[in-house]
């Protein structure tokens, strides 16, 4: 798919300038940028004092207070709550890098305020050895902090560890390496050649070895979602399945455009041959292999990633393109979720489901907001769980069951 980068570059320049400075109290919104992908953080009402990135200013509202009741009725059982927390952890990683650039530590930094309310702590930061920037972090359940609120055990559904990965920041200390990985995905539709991929995969493997795959989750936004998808997919090939939450994952690449043109040419060729009856033995090997791979994917799949998409975001909207006519949607709102109902709905057409794709039904319409992270912890968000065989999702997961293509050399 062809991309007009001229208007995008203009948007990024504006957004990048907004990230570096601080806005006055009560002033609109401020964002970091993620490879053409903005991290939009909305400032709160004018009467709320503090930095625009403070948790109490731009963070989620109406959080359930942490107390001993979490032992009995865990908020983590609510998929909307889990989505909100995962988005906050990713925001913490963005702020860890901004704190590093401002030479701030845990005592005066902005990042810790985004994980402490959920009783987690950062035990490892992932640092790009090329520029020293922080692109990810491992957060673990903080038992001592939980005990201070009389939470004696970890609530049901709360992971022992979370690997959170950020997208691109248009800041001088990290912009070069961030955009380098953006271009890597744009050209190759793969991030395996990046040193960040290697670091994220090693961190994930270590967490799984310590806590077990059922107790580890991965979350990423934008470019970070691209890394998250590929490191989780790498473990899935080995039969290790971890929960994965992908916010605004990148779906546009030159490789995809070339493949799309090839598919159209193949379709036209098939139309020409449509009048000729073919037996299964006469089918091209490639056609039979593709059909066999798809059947195997549907029969053997156990790993189902969660994708969160806004249709107004042209970076990720292509995930919402169905592969077939079978489409089922269910609507869920904050405070009225039903994970069991969603699971039953998914199982009704289990032959077609390879991922859980959540699409905003009343989300932001402007690109910078539609690609932003803030929307995913907003109150009153309405999501549709679109359960169908997405063409792009299938292609992304197909390599789990077929030979992997060679990746570009690491740099």
Coil/strand/helix, residue 116: helix
Distance CA 182, CA 307 (A): 19
**Nearest residue to 248 via CA among 276, 223, 284:** 223
- CATH code reported for the domain at 55-258+303-321+353-402: 3.40.50
d(CA 103, CA 398): 43
Taking the C-alpha atoms of residue 347 and residue 59, their distance in angstroms, rounded to an integer, is 34
Does residue 130 contact residue 185 with C-beta atoms inside 8 Å?
A: no
Q: HEC profile for 289-314? A: HHHHHHHHHHHHCCCCCEEEECCCCC
The reported pTM is: 0.75
How far apart (Å, rounded) are the C-alpha atoms in residues 323 and 307?
Answer: 16
Tell me the per-residue pLDDT of 24-46, one tens digit each, with 9 for 90 and over: 334 433 444 444 444 444 433 44
What is the spatial distance between Cα 333 and Cα 410, in angstroms, rounded to a whole number?
43
**C-alpha span between 370 and 361 (Å, rounded):** 12
What does the pLDDT read at residue 172? 82
Paired with 217 in beta bridges are 162, 243
Closest to 59 in 3D by CA, of 14, 6, 114, 105: 114
- Residue 56 near residue 386 (C-beta atoms within 8 A): no
Which residue has 């009704």 as its token pair?
348
Q: List the domain boundaries for the chain.
A: 55-258+303-321+353-402
Q: Is 143 helix (H, G, I), strand (E, B) or coil?
A: helix
Burial label, 139 (beta-carbon count in 10 A; 0-12, 13-18, 19+): buried
Q: Residue 125 burial (CB < 10 Å; 0-12/13-18/19+)?
A: middle
| Percent of all residues in the chain with a pLDDT value above 90, rounded to a whole number | 39
Closest Cα partner for 409 from 236, 200, 198? 198
Q: What are phi and psi of 235, to 5 degrees?
A: -70, -35
List pLDDT tens digits, range 59-82.
Answer: 998 888 888 888 788 999 999 999
Q: Provide the angle, in degrees to the nearest 10, between the axes of the packed helices 223-236 and 391-398.
A: 50
- Confidence at residue 315, expressed as pLDDT on a 0 to 100 scale: 86
Tell me the pLDDT tens digit for each residue of 310-349.
988 888 888 877 665 444 455 555 544 455 455 545 444 4
| Predicted confidence (pLDDT) at residue 350 exceeds the cutoff of 70 | no
- Total length of the chain: 411
pLDDT digit string, tens, across residues 80-91: 999 999 999 999
């Amino acid at each position: 798919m062809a991309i007009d980068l001229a208007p995008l570059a203009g948007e990024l320049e504006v957004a990048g300038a907004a990230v570096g400075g601080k806005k006055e109290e009560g002033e609109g919104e401020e964002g970091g940028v993620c490879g053409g992908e903005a991290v939009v953080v909305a400032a709160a009402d004018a009467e709320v004092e503090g930095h625009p990135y403070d948790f109490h200013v731009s963070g989620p509202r109406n959080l359930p207070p942490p107390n001993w009741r979490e032992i009995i009725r865990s908020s983590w059982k609510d998929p909307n709550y889990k989505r909100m927390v995962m988005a906050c952890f990713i925001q913490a990683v963005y702020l860890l890098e901004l704190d590093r650039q401002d030479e701030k530590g845990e005592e005066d930094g902005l990042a810790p305020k985004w994980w402490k309310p959920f009783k987690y702590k950062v035990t490892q930061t992932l640092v790009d050895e090329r520029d020293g920037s922080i692109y990810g972090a491992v957060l673990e359940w903080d038992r001592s902090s939980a005990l201070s609120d009389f939470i004696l055990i970890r609530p049901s559904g709360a992971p022992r560890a979370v690997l959170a990965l950020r997208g691109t920041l248009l800041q001088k200390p990290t912009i070069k390496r961030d955009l380098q990985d953006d271009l890597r995905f744009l050209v190759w539709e793969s991030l395996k050649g990046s040193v960040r991929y290697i670091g994220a995969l090693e961190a994930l493997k270590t967490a799984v070895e310590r806590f077990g795959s059922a107790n580890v989750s991965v979350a990423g936004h934008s470019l970070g979602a691209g890394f998250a998808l590929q490191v989780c997919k790498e473990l899935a090939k080995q039969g290790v399945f971890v929960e994965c939450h992908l916010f605004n994952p990148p779906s546009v690449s030159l490789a995809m455009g070339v493949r799309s043109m090839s598919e159209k040419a193949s379709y036209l060729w098939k139309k020409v041959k449509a009048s000729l009856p073919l037996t299964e033995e006469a089918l091209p090997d490639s056609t039979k292999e593709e059909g066999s791979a798809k059947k195997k994917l549907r029969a053997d799949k156990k790993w189902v990633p969660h994708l969160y998409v806004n249709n107004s975001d042209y970076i990720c909207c292509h995930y919402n393109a169905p592969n077939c006519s079978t489409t089922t949607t269910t609507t869920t709102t904050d405070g009225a979720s039903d994970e069991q109902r969603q699971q039953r709905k998914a199982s009704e057409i289990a032959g077609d489901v390879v991922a859980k794709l959540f699409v905003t039904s009343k989300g932001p319409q402007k690109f910078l907001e539609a690609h932003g992270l803030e929307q995913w912890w907003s109150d009153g968000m309405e999501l549709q769980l679109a359960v169908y065989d997405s063409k792009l999702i299938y292609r992304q997961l197909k390599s789990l069951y077929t030979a992997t293509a060679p990746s570009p050399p690491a740099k």
